[in-house]
A and B are shown apart, each in its own frame.
Chain A
């Protein structure tokens, strides 16, 4: 049964699963919540590709697999191209009539972390989106190279400490801004692009469904709180994600056909980013007096982005 017809989380938790609970992801990792929700939000057959990263190394260690559907992993950078190849073969075989079940609907989905999406696999993703393959790419954005022990990515936000952009006596952590992957993907003219979060699970499921039902290449950036590298208690994953969406560090919105922007979640009470930062060890150093200016700068940036999103939405262009 598709997840959008479910009334509550309890019903969801007992729903049929194509992503098996037995995997090696860290306790409290949001990846599995997001993946499970994607796989449960459609009854169609799924072909899934995954870039090298936390999700891949935790779900397909021979002789086990967590994937009760067709799944492929090639390398760090090419999940978008792997799924594009599979989709091309589906079209070729449909034309030739060599599919075993030609009438069954099939959906093609690629997963990648922010390392493979924003950085090493950026070109492969851009190419696959430009070519217009009918697939959905989902980035599990935990803002660092978590699988290799927490190095900076171009998704790591200003001020976070990572092993390769460290906070220290002469540094407040990463200095460069987080790349705006959603805007870049929308600029490709993709028919559906969104940023979603697992704490807003119904909105996320609706977004996933929209992407799967949309013909052509769709891109979704999902916030995936990383208990290990963001440094919070594994039981607090959804709490930290609530702080992310309610502080507007991670606004939830969609962009249709590269221009029509809709905000999908408006917090009733917007909280200061300081609360979000304070909940994570990776920002601890920002609370020293000499780094106060960094928190101010982050708040300013968040406010400006929210203003921009609202004006884009109002403009309806």
Chain B
């Protein structure tokens, strides 16, 4: 039996510590990990809990992130609760195995402290790694602060391990901005938290020798398509279960999450769509602008995968101008969030104006002032009746303005 851990009603935890406490409370059986800034403390803390008897688990310190996820896959197939953590280059090294984990329908939880991808080398937060994982067949939950990092991690186990889901889940937080910023967190007691997550339910475990299983089979053009379609359907079908689990968690904590979080959207005329800690920045900006009579609102996908296409459409259909903020270098295209939000809005009658801002790369600061400026630019589009700027702009960049695609008006 694991040792009792003293926990207070209100703790001052940073995002990493909050996630590692969630790992402890879920009594994760195996963590296979390789350290990388800024996610390192998550697995260091797990190691600490194992070393001091707070978890009856196995801490496997492997030689690379590729091996970390490989070890997680082997462990999960053997039937038990599995988690790890990574960031940036480590995430990139893991990518091959991310696809293999989801293809084998193994409910591994990967906590991610989002960080930029080299080159140039950069340890600060942006969403390049999160975007790199978006087609990997994982559920991706996004936490905007430390408390949410804790909440989403607990929810991740329950969602991924749900018998109707059985998919791996990533929980994202912003590197340093969330991972290293100590904030008030209201944790559940160990009993409540474990009661919520529940015992791990084995499915096709390799350690049940009465029923041998083959994991990682080969399929070619005869069956591969059907497998991938089934996996996609499982992701799509997980939407209602995520909603149920968020509701159940809300009853326990009075913190009720939604797959799309809307803020001041009831009558919003202009809106920002964002991910990560910037959501809170934008909310502050909206709050200030509301006092000035600007009807500003913020929409944030809590669940990045499966992408809440219908909820995004519902949240934004009555808005006149929308700025989509992408904290990842789009590499010769429009930002991913812009593309997905625009696609969702295309099937509305109103078809609001949508523009794209690339911002905050490599940890470049994003201020309330800048968020307000972006809101006001949307207001200018509304007043003019058309988009008055290039459709894609870079926000917070040094030197001359950078933008692409002028609007053509006929």
Number of A-B contacts (CB under 8 A): 163
Min distance, Cβ A96 to any Cβ of chain B, angstroms: 5
Query: In the bound complex, how far is the Cα of B91 from the Cα of A185, in angstroms?
Result: 29
- In the complex, whether A239 has a CB less than 8 A from a CB of chain B is no
Instruction: Please state if B77 and A69 are interface contacts (CB–CB under 8 Å).
Output: no
Q: Beyond A78-B97, A89-B58, is A71–B70 a contact (Cβ under 8 Å)?
A: no
Instruction: Please state if A83 and B30 are interface contacts (CB–CB under 8 Å).
Output: no
Say what secondary structure dominates the interface of chain A: mixed
A contact residues, range: 35 or more
Instruction: Please state if A73 and B74 are interface contacts (CB–CB under 8 Å).
Output: no
Contact digits for A44-86, partner B, Cβ 8 Å, 1 yes 0 no: 0101010000001100111101011111111101100111111
When C-beta atoms are compared, the residue in chain A nearest to B214 turns out to be A65
- In the complex, whether B405 has a CB less than 8 A from a CB of chain A is no
When C-beta atoms are compared, the residue in chain B nearest to A24 turns out to be B218
| A72: contacting residue among B56, B64, B77, B200, CB under 8 A | B77
Query: In the bound complex, how far is the Cα of B209 from the Cα of A93, in angstroms?
Result: 15
Instruction: Please state if B218 and A75 are interface contacts (CB–CB under 8 Å).
Output: no
When C-beta atoms are compared, the residue in chain A nearest to B34 turns out to be A127
Instruction: Please state if B223 and A62 are interface contacts (CB–CB under 8 Å).
Output: yes
Min distance, Cβ B277 to any Cβ of chain A, angstroms: 33
Instruction: Please state if A81 and B70 are interface contacts (CB–CB under 8 Å).
Output: yes
Q: Name the interface residues of B39-96: CB closer than 8 Å to any CB of A.
A: 56-58, 60-64, 66-67, 70-80, 82, 96
Query: In the bound complex, how far is the Cα of B209 from the Cα of A45, in angstroms?
Result: 7
Min distance, Cβ A55 to any Cβ of chain B, angstroms: 12
Instruction: Please state if A84 and B60 are interface contacts (CB–CB under 8 Å).
Output: yes
Q: Name the interface residues of A201-224: CB closer than 8 Å to any CB of B.
A: none
Instruction: Please state if A81 and B74 are interface contacts (CB–CB under 8 Å).
Output: yes
Interface centre among B63, B78, B220 (most CB of A within 10 A): B78
Q: Name the interface residues of A106-149: CB closer than 8 Å to any CB of B.
A: 106, 123-124, 126-127, 130-131
| A70: contacting residue among B56, B71, B212, B217, CB under 8 A | B212
Name the B residues within 8 Å of A93 (CB-CB).
29, 78-80, 207
Min distance, Cβ B65 to any Cβ of chain A, angstroms: 11
Name the A residues within 8 Å of B213 (CB-CB).
70-71
Query: In the bound complex, how far is the Cα of B54 from the Cα of A243, in angstroms?
Result: 58
Name the B residues within 8 Å of A88 (CB-CB).
30, 32, 58, 60, 71, 74-75
Instruction: Please state if B75 and A86 are interface contacts (CB–CB under 8 Å).
Output: yes
Instruction: Please state if B29 and A89 are interface contacts (CB–CB under 8 Å).
Output: yes
User: Can you report 18 A-B residue pairs in the complex whose CB atoms are below 8 A from each other?
Assistant: A61-B217, A62-B223, A74-B74, A74-B100, A75-B96, A82-B71, A82-B77, A84-B32, A90-B207, A92-B29, A92-B57, A93-B80, A98-B200, A100-B208, A104-B209, A106-B209, A123-B67, A126-B63
For the complex with contacts A49-B74, A85-B76, A90-B78, 9 further pairs of A-B residues with Cβ separation under 8 Å are A57-B218, A65-B214, A75-B70, A84-B74, A86-B78, A89-B74, A93-B78, A104-B209, A124-B63
B residues neighboring A (CB under 8 Å): 29-30, 32, 56-58, 60-64, 66-67, 70-80, 82, 96-97, 100, 200, 206-210, 212-220, 223, 227
Q: What are the 5 closest A-B residue pairs judged by CB atoms, nearest first?
A: A85-B74, A127-B63, A82-B74, A73-B216, A89-B78
A residues neighboring B (CB under 8 Å): 45, 47, 49, 56-57, 60-63, 65, 67-75, 77-78, 81-93, 95-96, 98-101, 104, 106, 123-124, 126-127, 130-131
